[in-house]
Amino acid sequence: MSSVSSVEGWEVKVADASRTELRVDGMTCSNCARHVTEALRSVPGVASAGVELDRGRAIVRWRPDAAPKAADLISAVESAGYEAKELSSAETGAAPERVWSPLEGWRFNAVVGTICTLPLLIGEWFFGLGIERGFHWFAFAMALPVQVFCGAKFYRGAWNQLKTGSSNMDTLVSLGSTAAFLYSAWALFAGLPGHLYFMEAAAIITLVSVGHWLESRMSAKAAGSLRALLNLAPQTARRIKPDGAEEIVSVVQLRGDDKIVLKPGDRVPTDGEITEGQSAVDESMLTGESLPIDKKIADKLYAGTINVNGQLLMRVTAVGDSTALAHIIESVQRAQTSRASIQRLGDRVSSVFVPIVIVIALLTAAFWGFAPDHAGALHHWLAQFLWPSHPPLEALAAAVVGAAAVLIVACPCAMGLATPVAIMAGTNSAAQRGILIRDGVALEKAGQITAVMFDKTGTLTQGKPAVVASEIFSAVSSDKTEMHLAAALARRSTHPLSQAVAKLDPDEYDFARWNELRGAGVEAEFNSEIVRLGSLRWLTELRIDLSAGNAFVEKWTGQGGTILGLSRGAKLIALLALVDTIKTGAAEVVQELARQKLSVYLITGDNPRTAKSIADQVGIPSENVFAEVGPERKSELVKQLQQGGARVAFVGDGINDAPALEQADLGIAVSKASDVASEAADIILLKSDIHAIPEALGLARATLRTIKQNLFWAFFYNAAGIPLAALGFLSPVLCAAAMGFSDLIVIGNALRLRRWKLKN
């Protein structure tokens, strides 16, 4: 079962270990994998689903409150037109090493189809044997195995779709190739003279298969960073036995509180905490941090990171799906299988596209078959504006070839790939930079942002304030100093300011009726009086006279300090100035966002002078600063900007920021690797460096631009290709090549995101 824990103010949902793995047959392309994914995610109780096309597997994780029902998953997959069965525990997990083979998967079709089709192409195109009777029989013998063995995948896929009352790309390829082959076979056995189309029938299947093979290779590149994440964690670990000896065990055997030895160069097998030793740890693949991080006793270690130079003893704190790496992998998988709203257009068109294309193919066949003179005349008239081509002279042949060309050129594969492959490439490129994007919708929203609102503490600043000055106005008691009282009063609070004050004195004090008011401060009963530590705004609202500290407040707020007041009853007894260092490069980040034509805002609970000082240092205009804002009002201010027409990204560190992150069009959490399960943010930065914010928004815009480009070219390709094929200007062979080429263009365009860089 899952559990809920609080990490640095986040409510972290630990992934449930309950999952089901299926073997799925009948998938031939990325569109098929997407349809299976959507079918699985529609099953009640499913938390996430991912499909590995090359392995023919689907991995489904269930929600904690749901009972796994493999039968429901299998039913959903079959309803989508594919076959599935549950894998046993022995069959699940990582696939065994596979020896490369030229006959594996689509390579079989590509190799066998090329061997059989190439002689036909050479014979017809180079030696002019297309009308020779002997060559017809040779072509039949070469095309038959292509049709039967290589075409089996397409026929099986078309039949599975037909059983569910639907159709897809396999339907079009099967119809087009079969029409050309059957017509040619009939003409051959009937002894009809003229050109036959065995070469075209074989070439259709071969070229489409080669396209799928290349598509699978390019898609594997697009999914490269996810594969790298999956391979990060080692399979074994050095566990310390009760007698102190080391033993090599499988990572799946590890349990909480197990002790593990990490030697220099070892990858950390699971999440844990250092109990002995110190070392530098390379977390670059996990968080994007380029330099190793120094680690000592009590520091956290994360699965997949590398121990660089020292020997460490680690206590296991999380295993399996509860590790930070597992959360990151799940987040990337969820993003890659998600749908952006812009994809709905492509989905709506694709859902009716195949039936419409079949109707167009039938009309084309009827036009060339029953009105060949009119069709030929129209073709020759258009040829003077386009290019010369030679449709078949026989009416039946022209009808078959025209219909086959329409069916092949109209395959909507590129249309279906346009959005998913761009999302996959974009989210993978982001993950390599330590940026987790929740889903396709978040990616789309990030590309439309017009304003960025920063929370101050922990975002623009380090989030580690320190008390730098204090002023005493009245003694507390003979046995308690003012700083002792302030430290004891603050100790129970987890707020960064309270924790800074708590470091002033280690002594404890048992207060009566201790209470914390969010965004204001803490109060308790001390010697029958109420003592308070908190913001000056709060103390002023309680009618506590702060005039004695005006000079102190003026001095330190002007230097960007945060002032806390300590009061007893209605009397001010001390003021404390805390300073939080601005993050390195914060000014450059604000400048870069402004260069991207984004409005930048600062929101803080500090007083206006402190807020203005911070804003001046980083370059935020004073009119864009909101000061003395409580946590509950942050979301209201976000809403105000939205009502003014802005699309707002809110950047917070996760402490008291959840409402604002939810209200914003885009929530960005400046987080840590252990916080990746947060449900409030759309984008999570795995390192506290805010330089990733302009990069994340820029990459999102580039991805959205790529999606629009892909959709445009996919629609343009079909809109231009169908009429040209119907009018005899594109042969079935050229149509098959063009269809595969369109897929490669879409995938290649998306792969450019892997090399995307923020322009200076």
Which residues are catalytic, by number?
455
Side by side, which strands form the sheet with 521-526? 466-472, 571-579, 562-568, 529-535, 521-526, 512-517
> CB burial class (10 A; 0-12, 13-18, 19+) of residue 658?
buried
Torsion sign, CA atoms 283, 287, 293, 298: negative
- The span from the CA of 156 to the CA of 139, in Å, is 24
Q: Determine if residue 5 is left, alpha or beta; phi over 0 gives left, psi from -120 to 50 gives alpha, anything else beta.
A: beta
**Helix 198-222, helix 133-145: angle, nearest 10:** 30
Count CB neighbours of 280 within 10 A: 16
Alpha-carbon distances, residue 111 vs 98, 118, 149, 210, 368 (angstroms): 19, 11, 12, 9, 35
- The span from the CA of 137 to the CA of 610, in Å, is 89
What six digits make up the tokens of 662?
């939810």
What six digits make up the tokens of 93?
């997990």
Query: HSE-up of 742 (CA within 13 Å, CB side)?
Result: 31
Alpha-carbon distances, residue 620 vs 346, 461, 657 (angstroms): 41, 14, 20
- The span from the CA of 220 to the CA of 226, in Å, is 10
Helix (H) or strand (E) holding 662: helix 658-663
Q: DSSP string of 386-424?
A: S------SSHHHHHHHHHHHHHHHT-THHHHHHHHHHHH
Q: Decide the pairing of beta strands 562-568 and 571-579.
A: antiparallel
CB 201 within 8 A of CB 147: yes
What is the C-alpha R_g of the chain? 33
Is residue 740 classed as helix, strand or coil in its secondary structure?
A: helix
Torsion sign, CA atoms 655, 656, 659, 661: negative
Nearest by Cα to 675 from 690, 685, 666, 662: 685
Q: List, in sequence order, every residue forming a beta bridge with 567; answer none if it has no partner.
A: 532, 572
Count CB neighbours of 263 within 10 A: 11
Alpha-carbon distances, residue 44 vs 61, 338, 538 (angstroms): 12, 17, 48
- The span from the CA of 760 to the CA of 755, in Å, is 15
- The span from the CA of 639 to the CA of 659, in Å, is 11
Torsion sign, CA atoms 385, 391, 394, 397: negative
What six digits make up the tokens of 52?
């590995």
